[in-house]
Chain A
């Protein structure tokens, strides 16, 4: 059976990432992005991609990467979710990187050291097997495009899908529900270089989206854990009717249910990461299960956090709204839960009709 726990190396990685994130981001800086989308977040990328070298986690050593795997990436994403960090790690170091690795393209070396950022130019709601290559014009809404250097554009040319690398594009920011992962309308410019055509191009895009979906689950787990832990602490200290509110069953039973959801989400995300890392034949099922489940758990965790904090939870001042906005956006990203359940039905032979 798959290892669903965390190794000592993974825990050590977690501790490094948590320490680094604590120095470069916090909820006040994330909240500021809603009023000033141009606020400088480059320190977060530098810390994660440059100082810690995490942009190359998935990339083999010969291309300048670390040669780790999806399990380690998942741990990084848990920490990024826990802080709603404004950093396009999933977009560049997972999704764009996976597409290039799938094509064995040496372009991946320029992403591995964090010096450049890549983006797969598809709507952020796309999922493996359910996306459309552009025939020209703007692609929208794309995550990870603002500040990107390399644009991987699935393009339809004469009825055939090509994956075209553009080094420039017109990127128009979009006011986003989650401004910590800002979206944009992207219109590639210049000729571009064809990296792959036909089945190879489609396979590379599908693999990238599948990896993204599998590992997004870990970001959602980290986010949900923050919501649960923060709310448990609040329930222990907030006093009403001369008692901590956490002593009321009306409160504690909701938190027990949320604990169960988060524990299950964690197991599902670990399974998705491990099967992705090992190329297990069950990986597509694991991804669909993880996305169907973890997406809703993250949203529910943020919604419960808000409600159980009472009035303060509804304010701009408290960090919960940042988590709710990320959680709801994450639920829609890379395939909705219902879409992943539809995929799952095909994988486990439970047809709709």
Chain B
């Protein structure tokens, strides 16, 4: 039986962390099976229980080892990788996982469309098979990091004559294809973190289809459950927005007041119980894939991020009335916390929309965790091309 601690020690012993090239180190880490210990041997893993990954992450962080840049490649690391492991062919796994982990290849997600946001299964982007190549046409939106990405995961309609969920397929797209047109989409923060992406006769080899033709919804669901785990996680106490507020409160007595104190403590408790529930979920998931329960964690995270970032402005009104910079820039490394309090407040508004709105999270929890009956759906059982829109 492999001891992950010994594996980490052996990896660290091979490099001088002061001078090591991050790509070289991450490549070696992948080859040592320490990228995702629960993945198979040879594919970045060691076939170990999922919860041992935390041990690896902790040891590497303590040693100060280079880590994958989640700000740039959260889609690749958090979503594409687990999806490829679950549904990808051996060739796809060999081709994509290693450069994804080293961040030599950045990934983005071509899911949402102007006409298919919450109703993601209603995407209209078409993929039509021509020999052994799919020709893709359509428009995607809310695509973080598309301008930096080499690869994308795509959900497209391959059969419009069946009900919406059954007519989708899942692909890996080369963003260098000349038919891919990425345009910045400016948001309320002033930045363009997202993009709209136009797909004009984009060519995708059939070898880059992930899962069976028509199985795209099932594959996408795996991606989305992982996304919700990624968004909802935070292993440390006082991580994220609450940590910014508590640090300020401790260091600056001028922001303290009795009126705000119980609010602060209530948010402290809320974030702590979410952290514990997330930890409990991770313990339950020590083996297996994230399930619909992760949607509840994402719901909690969004509520807290929005409320606490607003509370932070109220703590220091004169600062809260100001904003650091409205200049339009294209975000390179996305972070919910990266800028001033005004940015954090505005950016957090996206937390209840991206990765599934809070309303959709509540549908997922109530129908798939609690087993409540589905809402009335006029498009149920109707072929996609016969649904009025």
Contacts and interface: CB of A to CB of B under 8 A. Distances in A.
B370 A348 contact: no
A4 B370 contact: no
Interface in B346-389: 359, 361-363, 365-367, 369-376
Best-surrounded residue of B273, B296, B361 (most CB of chain A within 10 A) = B273
Interface string A231-256: 01001100000011011110111011
Interface stretch (A94-102, A154-162, A338-346): A338-346
Given A5-B284, A256-B296, A349-B250, A235 B372 contact: yes
A301 B258 CA distance: 29
B268 interface: yes
A263 B276 CA distance: 10
Contacts of A266: 277, 280
Interface stretch (A137-145, A202-210, A267-275): A267-275
B5 interface: no
Contact of B373 (A246, A268, A345, A349): A246
A352 B372 contact: no
Given A4-B276, A4-B283, A341-B262, A259 B371 contact: no
A319 to B, nearest CB: 20
A253 B362 CA distance: 5
Contacts of A125: none
A259 B363 CA distance: 12
B297 to A, nearest CB: 8
A259 B273 CA distance: 14
Of A264, A338, A345, the most chain B CB neighbours within 10 A belong to A264
Contact of B369 (A249, A259, A338): A259
Interface in B141-187: none
Contacts of A232: 370-372
Contacts of B293: 263
Chain B interface secondary structure, helix, strand, loop or mixed?
Answer: helix
A353 interface: yes
B152 to A, nearest CB: 31
A281 interface: no
B280 A345 contact: no
Interface residues of A, number: 43
A292 interface: yes
B373 A236 contact: yes
B265 A345 contact: yes
A265 B253 CA distance: 32
A270 B372 CA distance: 27
B79 interface: no
B363 A264 contact: no
A244 B280 contact: no
Interface string B232-267: 000000000000001001100100101001101110
A34 B204 CA distance: 72
B259 to A, nearest CB: 10
A249 B300 contact: no
Contact of B269 (A235, A244, A255, A293): A293
A350 B370 contact: no
Of B54, B277, B296, most buried by chain A (CB within 10 Å of CB) is: B277
B274 interface: yes
Contacts of B374: 247
A253 B366 contact: yes
A125 B361 CA distance: 38
Contacts of A289: 269, 272-273, 276
A4 B273 CA distance: 12
A36 interface: no
B373 A342 contact: no
A294 B299 CA distance: 19
A293 B370 contact: no
A9 interface: no
A314 interface: no
A252 B363 contact: yes
B269 A4 contact: no
A225 to B, nearest CB: 12
Contacts of B54: 1
Contacts of A260: 296, 299-300, 365
A4 B280 contact: yes
Given A4-B279, A260-B296, A246 B366 contact: yes
Contacts of B279: 1, 4, 267
Nearest to B369: A259
A35 interface: no
A257 interface: yes
A251 B363 CA distance: 11
Contacts of A256: 296, 299, 361-363, 365-366, 369-370
A342 B265 contact: yes
Interface in A1-16: 1, 3-5
B238 to A, nearest CB: 8
Contact of B363 (A243, A249, A341): A249
A344 to B, nearest CB: 6
Contact of B280 (A5, A348, A349): A5
Contacts of B258: 352-353
A236 B300 contact: no
A243 B361 contact: no
A249 B362 contact: yes
B261 A247 contact: no
A269 to B, nearest CB: 9
A9 B48 CA distance: 26
A350 B362 contact: no
Given A5-B280, A260-B365, A267-B276, A255 B359 contact: no
Contacts of A267: 273, 276-277, 279-280
Nearest to A5: B283
B280 to A, nearest CB: 4
Contacts of B246: 348, 350
Nearest to B258: A352
Contact of B372 (A252, A263, A265, A345): A252
Interface in A273-294: 289, 292-293
Interface of A: 1, 3-5, 232, 235-236, 243-244, 246-249, 251-253, 255-257, 259-260, 263-268, 270-271, 289, 292-293, 338, 341-342, 344-345, 348-353
16 contacts: A1-B279, A1-B283, A4-B279, A4-B280, A246-B372, A249-B359, A252-B363, A252-B366, A257-B299, A259-B296, A264-B276, A341-B268, A342-B265, A344-B269, A350-B246, A351-B256
Closest 6 A/B residue pairs (Cβ): A252-B366, A256-B362, A256-B365, A267-B276, A341-B265, A246-B372
Given A3-B283, A232-B372, A256-B365, 19 more contacts: A1-B54, A244-B373, A247-B373, A255-B372, A256-B369, A265-B273, A266-B277, A267-B276, A268-B273, A268-B276, A268-B277, A270-B280, A292-B266, A338-B262, A341-B266, A341-B268, A341-B269, A350-B261, A352-B261
